[in-house]
C-alpha cells in the first residue's frame, strides 16, 4: 500500500515538474516572427520595432529583483560597449531592455549599479501581468530573444559567448552559420 502511494506521489511530482518546465518555455522559437508593439521607453519616447531597418535587436527581459538577471547584466554591458566602440556609425545591433519591476526606485538603483547605459529601456511595473510580458509570453526572467532585421527570432536565450561571437561578426556574410 505504501509503495503504491509513493509511486503515485512520484508520478504527480514528475508531472508537476514537467508541466512547470513546459509552462516556463519561451513563447517564441527560432524562426518565429515576433509582434512589434508600440511601446514607451523609460524616457517617454515612443518606440516601435517596425521602425528599425537592417538592425539586429536583443530583446532582454529582466528585473532588478532577479539575481540571475543582475549577474548577466555586466556581461551584456561589456558586450554592447565593445560592439559600439568598433561600430560608431550606423550600428547594426542594439539592445532593448524590458524590466519587469516591482519598484521604480529598485530599478534605477540596479541600472546605476550595473552601468546599463543604452537608452532603449522599458519599465513595466506590473511584472508578468504587463501587456508586453503577456504579448511575449514571459513567465520567467531573464528571457532574451535575438531578432533579425525581419523581426524573426534568430536565437532564444543565447549564451553570452554565442551572442558575443554573433555580434563580433554581424557585418560578415557568414551570419547564417552562426545561428544554426
CA atoms of 56 and 58, how far apart (whole Å): 7
Q: Determine, yes or no, domain membership for 10.
A: no
Helix ranges (H only) for the chain are 2-24, 67-86, 104-114, 131-135, 160-168, 175-179
Please provide the distance, in angstroms rounded to a whole number, between the alpha carbons at the two ends of the chain. 51
Q: Determine, yes or no, domain membership for 3.
A: no
Q: Determine, yes or no, domain membership for 40.
A: yes
The 10 Å CB-count burial string (b at 16+, else e) for 24-47 is eebbbeeeeebeeeebeebeeeeb
> What CATH number corresponds to the domain at position 56?
3.40.30.10
Give the pLDDT of residue 112. 96
Give the pLDDT of residue 16. 53
Give the pLDDT of residue 178. 47
Give the pLDDT of residue 95. 94
Interstrand relation of 56-62 and 93-100 (parallel, antiparallel or unpaired): parallel
Instruction: Name beta bridge partners: 58.
Output: 95, 146
Q: How many domains does the chain have?
A: 1
Which grid coordinates are listed for 56? 539586429
Cβ–Cβ under 8 Å, residues 122 and 96: yes
Which domain covers residue 150, as residue numbers?
29-179
Q: Determine, yes or no, domain membership for 100.
A: yes
Task: Name residues of the chain where pLDDT drops below 70.
Answer: 5-28, 172-180
Q: What is the pTM of this model?
A: 0.79
Residues 6+ apart with CB under 8 A from 78: none
For helices 67-86 and 160-168, the axis angle rounded to 10 degrees is 10
CA atoms of 22 and 19, how far apart (whole Å): 5
Q: Determine, yes or no, domain membership for 11.
A: no
Give the pLDDT of residue 87. 79
Q: Determine, yes or no, domain membership for 128.
A: yes
Amino acid at each position: 500500500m505504501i509503495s503504491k502511494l509513493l509511486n503515485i506521489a512520484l508520478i504527480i511530482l514528475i508531472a508537476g515538474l514537467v508541466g512547470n518546465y513546459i509552462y516556463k518555455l519561451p513563447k517564441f522559437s527560432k524562426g518565429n516572427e515576433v509582434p512589434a508593439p508600440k511601446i514607451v521607453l523609460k524616457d517617454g519616447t515612443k518606440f516601435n520595432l517596425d521602425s528599425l531597418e537592417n538592425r539586429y535587436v536583443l530583446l532582454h527581459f529582466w528585473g532588478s529583483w532577479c539575481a540571475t538577471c543582475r549577474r548577466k547584466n555586466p556581461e551584456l554591458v561589456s558586450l554592447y560597449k565593445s560592439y559600439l566602440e568598433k561600430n560608431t556609425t550606423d550600428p547594426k545591433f542594439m539592445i532593448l531592455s524590458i524590466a519587469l519591476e516591482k519598484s521604480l526606485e529598485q530599478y534605477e538603483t540596479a541600472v546605476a549599479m550595473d552601468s546599463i547605459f543604452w537608452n532603449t529601456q522599458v519599465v513595466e511595473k506590473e511584472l508578468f501581468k504587463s501587456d508586453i510580458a503577456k504579448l511575449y509570453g514571459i513567465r520567467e526572467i531573464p528571457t532574451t530573444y535575438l531578432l533579425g532585421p525581419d523581426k524573426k527570432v534568430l536565437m532564444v536565450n543565447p549564451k553570452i559567448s554565442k551572442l558575443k561571437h554573433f555580434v563580433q561578426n554581424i557585418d560578415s556574410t557568414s551570419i547564417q552559420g552562426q545561428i544554426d
